[in-house]
Structure 1
Amino acid sequence: MRIGSIELLCLLAGAGLSAAWNHASEDEFRRAIAGHNHALVAFIEPSTAASQALEPEWISATESEKKKSLLSVDCASASSLCKEFDVISYPALRFFDGHGKMTSYRGPRRASSILAYLKRAVRPTITPLPSDKKAAAFQSSDDHAVIARISPRDSHVRVLYETLASQYRDRLSFGLAKTKTGEEATTVACYNNRDGQQFTVSDLTPINALSELVERCLTPVIGEFTRANEMKYLQADKSIVFFFSPSPAERDAYARAMLSVAKMYKEYLSFVTVDAGEYGDLAAPLGLAPGVYPAVSVQNPMFGKVFPYPQGRGDNDDDDNITPESIGAFLMDIGQGKVEAWDGTTVSAGEEGGQGRAHDEL
């Protein structure tokens, strides 16, 4: 799937979107969280870039949420209310469970992730799964689902599992199934349905076995690079393949299209997408022309080398497109020493003359 055609689809899809924030008044907000009602609230400040980026995703989620459990508050006009709930940065997403407890939402700020969070937020911390049919349905009911089959003799594991579920319930759905006939060992499996991966642990001797299982399961094959997680990627002893785009739909399409390539190289490379609207300043140090998107660059943090993906690479007139095949070939060329590291002077902007000394061998 070519990213060039995706951009057109994104523009067409967004052409009919005229909806905007529909903020709740203070009275509406207090009624929404009163009694036993649950609600996910976005406290926003309209002038901030992050709030503006959330707007189309929040509106999409709101239109899909039939129970109207989503609402927003404009902190520019309701500053005292936002201060009351300790909102110090924008947007701040908070879940009110209807019993007086407020929890910060820590997931991706995408409509699909927001809706998935609402579904798991109203589930039991651990869902009983009395039959194989229910276990199979539960396994695919969320982007990330954990199913434990705990032997009666492992009561301590049950306690650990309950603790884990309480800690991670905002990001995964947890289920408890019966051990199968003839099985005595305890097993815990985590399903990353978004990336089509499964992780299982049966040796629960290490005290952190369950938490490590969940963290591996939660780690996306293609993640989203932000200021908050950049050190995690830079210190992972892997080269990083960056994809820049200001369009959430385009970044999602790239992640889907590039999944097989990312899985092939996951032991050696970290694939990430970057919101070029919010983190466009990261493009120039990676040899990319700011504002020219979509764009790809490969960085080796260990040796300080950068390999911008050159526009104009390909065998036809439509060769500026970024495809799994072209990126896979580019990575292969880097591995075989056919691509020189960026010299720090030219930028990948598709200008006549190409990439200067950095890509003369391509």
Structure 2
Amino acid sequence: SDVVVLSSDNFAEFVKENPLALAEFYAPWCGHCKNLAPEYEKAATQLKENNIPIGKIDCTENQELCSSYGVQGYPTLKVFHGSLDNEKTTPYQGQRTAEDIVNFMIRQSAPAVLELKTIEDLENFKNKADVVAVGLWDEADAAINKTFYEAANLLKDSFYFAASTAKELFKEAGLASPPAVILFKTYDEGKSVFVNDASQWSADAISTFVQQESRPILGELSPTNFKSFIDSGNPLGYLFYDTAESRDAVVEQIYDIAKEFRDQISFVTLDGEQYGRHAKALNLKDTTFPAFVIQRISDGKTFPLLSEDGKSNGVVSSVTVRTLVKGVVDNTIQPFLKSEPEPESPYEENVRVLVGSTYESVVLDETKDVLVEYYAPWCGHCKNLAPKYVELAELYKDDDNVVIAKIDASNNDTPEQIQGFPTIKFFKANDKANPITFSDSREVEALARFIEAN
């Protein structure tokens, strides 16, 4: 194996002897670690040719070492730059494939900015990736040079950067006069240009430009680019399709809309046959594709394009998509509220049963203290809690000021962002904006103490 087996005995030597190295902190029982193993082996073999070693540390055998690097989950991959200082490490957050690991590490080994001297250099550099950034300026512009390098260092893990002061490259790049940053792309319009007064240049402005303009106007969503779309903070406009032909036909209709609103909504395509469950989670009604839905990243709320009666997916056209997009951008339409029908009886063994349509009227009642359990029917921990929660409700059934409630958060929308099941929150009377999350043991006594304490 080309993967170096590390332990507390040889770890320090491994890191200090190599100016660049990758280390995996793992546990033998970890399923994700087992899935990574063959890809990690391939990456190690390929990186050996570049003199970039990669190793692995069994955290069940080296607990103190793993703890010193803040390892809380497996696998954790960290890039070391010849120093044992954890502050100087770089977390690897890319895809767990040999190709992505190799590309990431080679990018780490390269200078943040490559110097271009000839047109041939420029053409070769443009072929390095689907998107590359090139800075062009006059040789005397020392401040511009410094700012560009700062931006490159911020994004070197994700993008390739190059720079030149060669005048023949200005003309080749179609630049009337420097300074400028040109983003060359193999998609959309082929390139984007950032030109600004030198005094207004900043590393953040260049960084923002590169990140925004590198996202396709209307491209396929993938594990590789998903994070960049999420980091933008823009709502995502999903076009789900069933065939390449249907996708291309709709893309032709809505491409100009995506281009017009690209600063406000990120438009992406996704295979509905493969990701039908995600389409359903976004509140599309069936698997009739193409279909379109917008999701706000800030709160997870969705705006599906539905038929007039709301029972099926709506027709995707330039007219219907523009209407939906304008409504979301102008904040003139309400997000979709997923809700089960109201139960015949609002109570189930003294527990108030909530659905999406009744949630706010009960939980946000300023006269009541309300304890809410967010659960999912398939959740084992929720099933274990159920009889205890009923017992708790029995304790408070005669207290008019306290409501013990529950909601199936997998089938009903709520304003709260629920990350796991069960989640229990307490909404205090006259202070509904600051719910308190329960974090003690899920026992009746602990839950009762929690209510009384708050």
Answer yes or no: same fold by TM over 0.5: yes
The answer for the alignment partner of 1:241 in structure 2 is 239
> Aligned to 2:43, which of 53, 56, 61?
61
C-alpha displacement at 1:296, in angstroms? 8.3
CA contact (8 A) 1:131 1:178 kept: no
3-state secondary structure, aligned to 2:166: coil
For 1:273 and 1:28, the matched residues in 2 are separated by 46
Sort the Cα spacing of 1:81 and 1:211 in 2 relative to 1 into closer, same or farther, 3 A.
Answer: same
CA contact (8 A) 1:105 1:170 kept: no
Pick the structure with greater CA Rg.
2
> Aligned to 1:178, which of 165, 171, 181?
165
The answer for the alignment partner of 2:64 in structure 1 is 80
CA contact (8 A) 1:21 1:72 kept: no
C-alpha displacement at 1:288, in angstroms? 7.9
Counterpart amino acid of residue 5 in structure 2: A
Q: How many residues align?
A: 290
For 1:115 and 1:189, the matched residues in 2 are separated by 26
CA contact (8 A) 2:236 2:268 kept: no
C-alpha displacement at 1:160, in angstroms? 0.8
CA contact (8 A) 2:147 2:201 kept: no
Gaps of 5+ in 2: 307-313, 323-335, 341-454
Map 1:51-130; keep pairs closer than 5 Å: 51=33, 54-55=36-37, 57-67=39-49, 69-99=53-83, 101-130=88-117
C-alpha displacement at 1:83, in angstroms? 1.0
C-alpha displacement at 1:95, in angstroms? 0.9
The answer for the alignment partner of 1:39 in structure 2 is 21
For 2:99 and 2:230, the matched residues in 1 are separated by 27
> Aligned to 1:140, which of 96, 113, 127?
127
CA contact (8 A) 1:147 1:175 kept: yes
Gaps of 5+ in 1: 1-19, 245-253, 309-328, 347-362
C-alpha displacement at 1:171, in angstroms? 1.5
Is the counterpart of residue 157 in structure 1 residue 157 in structure 2? no
The answer for the alignment partner of 1:300 in structure 2 is 294
Sort the Cα spacing of 1:218 and 1:74 in 2 relative to 1 into closer, same or farther, 3 A.
Answer: farther
CA contact (8 A) 2:134 2:181 kept: yes
Sort the Cα spacing of 1:283 and 1:184 in 2 relative to 1 into closer, same or farther, 3 A.
Answer: closer
C-alpha displacement at 1:55, in angstroms? 4.3
3-state secondary structure, aligned to 1:33: helix
The answer for the alignment partner of 2:367 in structure 1 is none
Counterpart amino acid of residue 167 in structure 2: K
Map 1:214-253; keep pairs closer than 5 Å: 214-219=210-215, 221-224=219-222, 236-241=234-239
Sort the Cα spacing of 1:147 and 1:229 in 2 relative to 1 into closer, same or farther, 3 A.
Answer: closer
Counterpart amino acid of residue 141 in structure 1: K
CA contact (8 A) 1:287 1:307 kept: no
C-alpha displacement at 1:282, in angstroms? 5.1
Report sequence identity in percent: 18
CA contact (8 A) 1:51 1:90 kept: yes
Cα distance per residue 1:257-280 (max 9 Å; x no partner): 98x949936436622669x99x99
The answer for the alignment partner of 2:348 in structure 1 is none
> Please, what TM-score do these two structures have when normalized by structure 1?
0.60
Sort the Cα spacing of 1:48 and 1:222 in 2 relative to 1 into closer, same or farther, 3 A.
Answer: farther
C-alpha displacement at 1:242, in angstroms? 5.8
The answer for the alignment partner of 2:208 in structure 1 is 212
For 2:290 and 2:4, the matched residues in 1 are separated by 37
Counterpart amino acid of residue 215 in structure 1: Q
Counterpart amino acid of residue 114 in structure 1: I
Counterpart amino acid of residue 25 in structure 1: L
Sort the Cα spacing of 1:42 and 1:194 in 2 relative to 1 into closer, same or farther, 3 A.
Answer: farther
For 1:212 and 1:193, the matched residues in 2 are separated by 20
The answer for the alignment partner of 1:200 in structure 2 is 193
Counterpart amino acid of residue 285 in structure 1: A
C-alpha displacement at 1:31, in angstroms? 4.1
C-alpha displacement at 1:141, in angstroms? 2.0
The answer for the alignment partner of 1:285 in structure 2 is 281
